[in-house]
């Protein structure tokens, strides 16, 4: 069964460093998402991506964040200068469509720890 | 704006007992509602969804949920709990006119099943 994969499973970085979280969505999916979950809090939407551009982003997704689909299979989230409060589990998701057709399939997550 | 409230961050039931996980939503437009389950060290897996039509929806693993517009609720039930149901459960909402499929999640409910 096709699945969304994410690497690495755990990333530890120093404050101020850049990190890139990688995701491989399901191959025929067209919509891509990043969510995050700070420990003990709810899963929060960060950004959605369709047709090689951001379709919606939350207020969390500031200039420190960027997304890219560099090669037609990977979908990446870059945090330019990490802060302590960026420590969280980051989930990638993908779907065939949006709205009614948009069942989102989630990856296992990357746990980011910023020291 | 849309929001989701899950009553009870932890629910404990005995094996074989009824499972009831509560979810209330707020939405100014007709909602699409979802329940996701997260097993340890895994991603979010869709249990069931309501978009339109029949208000009682059946999902995987014997779970079902009923959309009650008058109560703005979408509670998740299972007649008989199994040990393998122990996990975290998330209720989420989006809406049909969303072009991005952004999901708004509740806080999550951890289900413990006692032997």
Per residue in A19-49, pLDDT (tens digit) is 999 999 999 899 999 999 998 888 999 999 9
Answer whether A91 sits within 8 Å of B44, measured CB to CB: yes
Helix (H) or strand (E) holding B10: strand B10-14
> How open is the CA angle B81-B84-B88, to the nearest 5 degrees?
90
Closest chain A residue to B98, measured at CA: A99
pLDDT for residue A101: 57
Gap between the Cα atoms of A8 and A110, Å rounded: 6
pLDDT for residue B95: 67
- Check: CB of residue B38 under 8 Å from CB of residue B88: yes
Three-state DSSP at A99 gives helix
Of residues A43, A44, A102, nearest to B101 (C-beta): A102
On average, the pLDDT of chain A sits at: 92
Residue whose structure tokens are 């979280």: A21
Looking at residue A16, the DSSP 8-state letter turns out to be: T
Q: Each residue's pLDDT tens digit in chain B (115 positions)?
A: 788 999 999 999 999 999 999 999 998 778 889 999 998 878 889 999 998 888 999 999 999 999 999 999 999 999 999 999 999 999 999 865 666 788 999 999 999 999 9
Kindly list the residues of chain B whose beta carbon comes within 8 Å of any beta carbon in chain A: 32, 36, 41-46, 49, 51-52, 90, 92, 94-108
Asked if A48 is an interface residue toward chain B (Cβ–Cβ < 8 A), one would say yes
**With contacts defined as CB-CB under 8 Å, which chain B residues touch A48?**
100-102
Mind telling me how many Å the CA of B16 is from chain A's nearest CA?
29
Three-state DSSP at A39 gives coil
Gap between the Cα atoms of A101 and B104, Å rounded: 17
């Amino acid at each position: 069964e096709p699945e969304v994969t994410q690497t690495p499973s755990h990333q530890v970085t120093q404050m101020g460093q850049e990190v890139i979280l990688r995701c491989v969505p399901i191959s025929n999916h067209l919509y891509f998402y990043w969510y995050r979950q700070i420990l003990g809090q709810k899963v929060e939407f960060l950004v959605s991506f369709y047709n090689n551009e951001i379709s919606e982003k939350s207020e969390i997704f500031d200039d420190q964040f960027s997304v890219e689909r560099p090669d037609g299979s990977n979908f990446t989230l870059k945090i330019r200068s990490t802060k302590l409060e960026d420590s969280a589990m980051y989930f990638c998701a993908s779907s065939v469509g949006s709205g009614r057709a948009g069942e989102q399939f989630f990856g296992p997550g990357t746990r980011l720890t910023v020291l | 704006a849309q929001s989701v409230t899950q009553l009870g961050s932890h629910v404990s039931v005995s094996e074989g007992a009824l499972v009831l996980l509560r979810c209330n939503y707020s939405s100014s437009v007709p909602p699409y509602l979802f329940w996701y389950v997260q097993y340890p060290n895994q991603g979010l897996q869709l249990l069931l969804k309501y978009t339109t039509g029949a208000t009682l929806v059946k999902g995987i693993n014997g779970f079902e949920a009923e959309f009650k517009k008058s109560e703005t609720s979408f509670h998740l039930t299972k007649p008989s709990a199994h040990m393998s149901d122990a996990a975290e459960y998330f209720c989420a909402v989006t809406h049909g006119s969303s072009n991005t499929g952004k999901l708004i999640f509740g806080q999550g409910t951890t289900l413990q099943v006692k032997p």
